[in-house]
Amino acid sequence: MLQINNITKTFGNYRALNDVTLHVSQGKVFGLLGPNGAGKSTLIRIINHIIRPDSGQLIFQGHPMTDADVMQIGYLPEERGLYKKMKVGEQAIYLARLKGLDKATAEKRLHDWFDRLEIDNWWNRKVEELSKGMQQKVQFVVTVLHEPQLLIFDEPFSGFDPVNADILKREILRLKAQGTTIIFSTHNMPSAEELCDDIALINHSEVVLSGPLADIKAQYPGQDLDRIFINTVTGNQSNYQK
Protein backbone atom coordinates (compact mmCIF):
# COMPACT_ATOMS: atom_id res chain seq x y z
CA MET A 1 0.00 0.00 0.00
CA LEU A 2 2.53 2.57 1.14
CA GLN A 3 6.25 2.11 1.02
CA ILE A 4 8.37 4.70 2.84
CA ASN A 5 11.92 4.54 1.55
CA ASN A 6 14.91 6.15 3.26
CA ILE A 7 13.20 9.37 4.19
CA THR A 8 15.48 12.02 5.71
CA LYS A 9 14.39 15.47 6.79
CA THR A 10 16.39 18.26 8.41
CA PHE A 11 15.12 21.51 9.86
CA GLY A 12 18.05 23.91 10.12
CA ASN A 13 20.54 21.96 12.21
CA TYR A 14 18.00 19.52 13.56
CA ARG A 15 17.50 16.18 11.89
CA ALA A 16 13.85 15.30 12.35
CA LEU A 17 13.92 12.04 10.40
CA ASN A 18 16.95 9.94 9.61
CA ASP A 19 16.75 7.35 6.87
CA VAL A 20 13.29 6.12 7.79
CA THR A 21 12.08 3.07 5.90
CA LEU A 22 8.69 1.51 6.62
CA HIS A 23 6.11 -0.60 4.87
CA VAL A 24 2.41 -0.13 5.44
CA SER A 25 0.39 -3.13 4.25
CA GLN A 26 -2.93 -2.94 2.49
CA GLY A 27 -5.95 -3.25 4.77
CA LYS A 28 -3.96 -3.30 7.98
CA VAL A 29 -3.83 -1.00 10.98
CA PHE A 30 -0.29 0.30 11.23
CA GLY A 31 0.76 1.70 14.60
CA LEU A 32 3.23 4.57 14.46
CA LEU A 33 4.58 4.75 17.99
CA GLY A 34 7.19 6.86 19.68
CA PRO A 35 7.76 9.50 22.32
CA ASN A 36 7.05 13.20 21.82
CA GLY A 37 9.37 14.84 19.32
CA ALA A 38 10.49 11.52 17.85
CA GLY A 39 9.50 12.59 14.35
CA LYS A 40 6.07 10.96 13.96
CA SER A 41 4.28 14.18 13.01
CA THR A 42 7.02 15.12 10.56
CA LEU A 43 6.68 11.75 8.88
CA ILE A 44 2.90 12.15 8.67
CA ARG A 45 3.28 15.62 7.15
CA ILE A 46 5.69 14.21 4.58
CA ILE A 47 3.22 11.46 3.66
CA ASN A 48 0.58 14.19 3.22
CA HIS A 49 2.91 16.24 1.01
CA ILE A 50 2.61 19.14 3.43
CA ILE A 51 6.38 19.23 3.62
CA ARG A 52 8.97 17.75 1.30
CA PRO A 53 11.66 15.35 2.50
CA ASP A 54 15.32 16.19 1.86
CA SER A 55 15.80 12.73 0.43
CA GLY A 56 13.94 9.44 0.14
CA GLN A 57 10.83 8.36 -1.65
CA LEU A 58 7.21 7.43 -1.06
CA ILE A 59 5.69 4.61 -3.10
CA PHE A 60 1.89 4.64 -3.08
CA GLN A 61 0.02 1.68 -4.55
CA GLY A 62 3.16 0.66 -6.42
CA HIS A 63 4.00 4.03 -7.99
CA PRO A 64 5.92 7.10 -6.78
CA MET A 65 3.41 9.11 -4.79
CA THR A 66 1.98 12.18 -6.51
CA ASP A 67 -0.07 15.14 -5.28
CA ALA A 68 -3.15 13.46 -6.72
CA ASP A 69 -2.57 10.45 -4.45
CA VAL A 70 -2.82 12.72 -1.40
CA MET A 71 -6.52 13.00 -2.23
CA GLN A 72 -6.75 9.28 -1.37
CA ILE A 73 -5.65 10.05 2.18
CA GLY A 74 -7.79 11.05 5.11
CA TYR A 75 -5.81 12.79 7.80
CA LEU A 76 -6.91 13.57 11.33
CA PRO A 77 -4.15 15.71 12.87
CA GLU A 78 -3.43 15.67 16.57
CA GLU A 79 -4.07 19.41 16.72
CA ARG A 80 -7.73 19.48 15.72
CA GLY A 81 -9.31 22.52 14.20
CA LEU A 82 -12.41 23.69 12.37
CA TYR A 83 -13.71 27.11 11.36
CA LYS A 84 -15.42 28.18 14.56
CA LYS A 85 -17.94 30.53 12.98
CA MET A 86 -19.07 28.14 10.26
CA LYS A 87 -22.00 25.80 10.58
CA VAL A 88 -21.18 22.12 11.02
CA GLY A 89 -22.89 20.83 7.87
CA GLU A 90 -21.72 23.65 5.64
CA GLN A 91 -18.15 23.26 6.84
CA ALA A 92 -18.08 19.48 6.46
CA ILE A 93 -19.34 19.81 2.89
CA TYR A 94 -16.71 22.45 2.12
CA LEU A 95 -13.89 20.26 3.43
CA ALA A 96 -15.24 17.24 1.56
CA ARG A 97 -15.44 19.23 -1.68
CA LEU A 98 -11.83 20.31 -1.21
CA LYS A 99 -11.05 16.59 -1.17
CA GLY A 100 -12.77 16.26 -4.52
CA LEU A 101 -16.27 15.09 -3.60
CA ASP A 102 -19.21 16.70 -5.36
CA LYS A 103 -21.72 18.52 -3.23
CA ALA A 104 -24.60 16.04 -3.50
CA THR A 105 -22.49 13.01 -2.61
CA ALA A 106 -20.87 14.86 0.27
CA GLU A 107 -24.26 15.84 1.64
CA LYS A 108 -25.69 12.34 1.38
CA ARG A 109 -22.70 10.65 2.99
CA LEU A 110 -22.59 13.27 5.72
CA HIS A 111 -26.19 12.60 6.67
CA ASP A 112 -25.46 8.86 6.75
CA TRP A 113 -22.50 9.39 9.05
CA PHE A 114 -24.24 11.93 11.25
CA ASP A 115 -27.20 9.56 11.60
CA ARG A 116 -24.98 6.68 12.60
CA LEU A 117 -23.13 8.78 15.17
CA GLU A 118 -26.43 10.35 16.26
CA ILE A 119 -25.24 13.89 15.65
CA ASP A 120 -27.53 14.84 12.79
CA ASN A 121 -29.15 17.60 14.86
CA TRP A 122 -25.79 19.44 14.92
CA TRP A 123 -26.00 20.15 11.20
CA ASN A 124 -26.99 23.81 11.49
CA ARG A 125 -25.09 24.63 14.63
CA LYS A 126 -21.96 26.67 14.59
CA VAL A 127 -18.78 24.81 15.50
CA GLU A 128 -18.06 27.17 18.38
CA GLU A 129 -21.30 26.05 20.04
CA LEU A 130 -20.07 22.45 20.24
CA SER A 131 -17.97 20.98 23.02
CA LYS A 132 -14.45 19.91 22.21
CA GLY A 133 -15.38 16.24 22.10
CA MET A 134 -18.28 17.01 19.77
CA GLN A 135 -15.98 18.96 17.47
CA GLN A 136 -13.63 15.99 17.34
CA LYS A 137 -16.47 13.73 16.31
CA VAL A 138 -17.30 16.10 13.47
CA GLN A 139 -13.69 16.21 12.44
CA PHE A 140 -13.47 12.44 12.43
CA VAL A 141 -16.41 12.28 10.04
CA VAL A 142 -14.81 14.92 7.82
CA THR A 143 -11.61 12.86 7.73
CA VAL A 144 -13.27 9.69 6.49
CA LEU A 145 -16.03 11.19 4.37
CA HIS A 146 -14.29 11.00 1.00
CA GLU A 147 -13.70 7.28 1.62
CA PRO A 148 -9.92 7.44 1.35
CA GLN A 149 -7.81 4.34 0.79
CA LEU A 150 -5.42 5.42 3.51
CA LEU A 151 -6.44 6.94 6.83
CA ILE A 152 -3.97 8.63 9.13
CA PHE A 153 -5.11 9.20 12.70
CA ASP A 154 -2.80 11.16 14.97
CA GLU A 155 -3.83 10.50 18.59
CA PRO A 156 -7.48 10.00 17.61
CA PHE A 157 -8.66 9.18 21.14
CA SER A 158 -7.21 12.15 22.98
CA GLY A 159 -9.99 14.31 24.34
CA PHE A 160 -12.68 11.64 24.04
CA ASP A 161 -14.59 10.23 26.97
CA PRO A 162 -14.56 6.41 27.23
CA VAL A 163 -18.00 6.06 25.66
CA ASN A 164 -17.13 8.10 22.60
CA ALA A 165 -13.64 6.60 22.39
CA ASP A 166 -15.36 3.24 22.15
CA ILE A 167 -17.68 4.44 19.38
CA LEU A 168 -14.65 5.74 17.52
CA LYS A 169 -12.80 2.45 17.95
CA ARG A 170 -15.82 0.63 16.57
CA GLU A 171 -15.89 2.91 13.51
CA ILE A 172 -12.15 2.53 12.91
CA LEU A 173 -12.50 -1.25 12.95
CA ARG A 174 -15.48 -1.01 10.61
CA LEU A 175 -13.41 1.05 8.17
CA LYS A 176 -10.64 -1.52 8.40
CA ALA A 177 -13.11 -4.28 7.65
CA GLN A 178 -14.07 -2.36 4.51
CA GLY A 179 -10.46 -2.64 3.36
CA THR A 180 -9.14 0.76 4.35
CA THR A 181 -5.50 0.95 5.37
CA ILE A 182 -4.97 2.87 8.59
CA ILE A 183 -1.91 4.56 10.06
CA PHE A 184 -2.46 5.10 13.74
CA SER A 185 -0.06 7.36 15.59
CA THR A 186 -0.26 7.30 19.38
CA HIS A 187 1.40 7.19 22.76
CA ASN A 188 -1.42 5.14 24.13
CA MET A 189 -0.02 1.61 24.12
CA PRO A 190 -3.11 -0.28 25.27
CA SER A 191 -5.16 1.09 22.38
CA ALA A 192 -2.30 0.41 19.97
CA GLU A 193 -2.10 -3.15 21.23
CA GLU A 194 -5.83 -3.51 20.77
CA LEU A 195 -6.06 -2.11 17.23
CA CYS A 196 -2.75 -2.55 15.43
CA ASP A 197 -1.64 -5.36 13.16
CA ASP A 198 1.81 -3.91 12.53
CA ILE A 199 3.77 -1.35 14.48
CA ALA A 200 6.85 0.81 14.10
CA LEU A 201 8.60 2.51 16.96
CA ILE A 202 10.37 5.76 16.15
CA ASN A 203 12.85 7.25 18.57
CA HIS A 204 15.32 10.10 18.04
CA SER A 205 14.28 10.42 14.39
CA GLU A 206 14.99 6.77 13.58
CA VAL A 207 12.97 3.59 13.35
CA VAL A 208 14.15 1.47 16.22
CA LEU A 209 11.64 -1.35 16.02
CA SER A 210 9.14 -2.46 13.40
CA GLY A 211 7.15 -5.46 12.27
CA PRO A 212 3.93 -7.33 12.94
CA LEU A 213 2.74 -6.77 16.48
CA ALA A 214 2.52 -10.51 17.13
CA ASP A 215 6.18 -11.04 16.10
CA ILE A 216 7.38 -8.19 18.27
CA LYS A 217 5.48 -9.45 21.26
CA ALA A 218 7.00 -12.86 20.67
CA GLN A 219 10.47 -11.27 20.79
CA TYR A 220 9.76 -9.83 24.21
CA PRO A 221 7.92 -12.55 26.02
CA GLY A 222 6.01 -11.55 29.08
CA GLN A 223 6.09 -7.83 28.36
CA ASP A 224 3.20 -5.66 27.29
CA LEU A 225 3.67 -3.03 24.60
CA ASP A 226 4.04 -0.28 27.21
CA ARG A 227 7.04 -2.03 28.71
CA ILE A 228 8.56 -2.82 25.32
CA PHE A 229 8.14 0.84 24.36
CA ILE A 230 9.79 2.18 27.51
CA ASN A 231 12.61 -0.29 27.42
CA THR A 232 13.38 0.30 23.78
CA VAL A 233 13.26 4.07 24.11
CA THR A 234 15.44 4.24 27.19
CA GLY A 235 17.67 1.43 25.95
CA ASN A 236 18.07 0.13 29.46
CA GLN A 237 15.79 -2.55 30.77
CA SER A 238 17.07 -2.72 34.32
CA ASN A 239 16.29 0.91 35.20
CA TYR A 240 12.64 0.50 34.41
CA GLN A 241 11.83 -2.81 36.06
CA LYS A 242 8.83 -2.57 38.32
Partner 1 sequence: MNKILLVIQREYLTRVKKPSFWVLTLVVPILIAAIYAIPIVLASRPLEHSNVLVVDDSGLFKGQFVSGRDITYFDAGSIDYAKRQLETVDSLDAIVYIPARETTLPSDAYLYYRTDAPSVTVQSDVNNQLQKILRNVILLDVHGITPEDYALITSTSIKLRTQDIETGRAGFLQIKLIIGALLAILVFMAVFMFGSQVMRGVMEEKTSRIVEVIVCSVKPFQLMMGKVVGIGLVGLTQFALWVLLSGVALGGLRFTNADLFEQVESRHVTEISTKGTEATSQYQAAQYQAAQYEAGMGVDNEIQDLIEGLSSINFGLILLLFVFYFIFGYLLYASLFAAAGSLVDNETDSQQFTLPMTIPLILSILLMPAMVNEPSGTISTWLSIIPFTSPVSMLFRIPFGVPIWQVVLSMVLLLLTFPLCIWAAAKIYRTAILRYGQKFTWGDLFRIFKGRSGC
Shortest distance, position 41 Cβ to partner 1, whole Å: 10
C-beta closer to partner 1: residue 98 or 218 = 98
CB atoms within 10 A of CB 221: 6
Sign of the C-alpha dihedral, residues 15, 22, 41, 96? Answer: positive
Shortest distance, position 94 Cβ to partner 1, whole Å: 6
C-beta closer to partner 1: residue 56 or 211 = 56
Shortest distance, position 185 Cβ to partner 1, whole Å: 14
Q: Are strands 2-11 and 14-24 parallel, antiparallel or unpaired?
A: antiparallel
| Residue 130 contacts residue 88 (beta carbons within 8 Å) | yes
C-beta closer to partner 1: residue 86 or 117 = 86
C-beta closer to partner 1: residue 149 or 210 = 149
| Interacting residues toward partner 1 by CB under 8 A | 10-12, 45, 48-52, 70-71, 73, 75, 77, 79-86, 94-95, 97-99, 139, 142-143
DSSP per-residue letters across 207-228? EEEEEEHHHHHHHSTT--HHHH
Shortest distance, position 115 Cβ to partner 1, whole Å: 23
C-beta closer to partner 1: residue 14 or 214 = 14
118: region left, alpha or beta (phi > 0 left; psi from -120 to 50 alpha): left
* Separation of alpha carbons 195 and 147, rounded Å: 20
Shortest distance, position 12 Cβ to partner 1, whole Å: 7
- Using DSSP's 3-state secondary structure scheme, residue 30 falls into strand
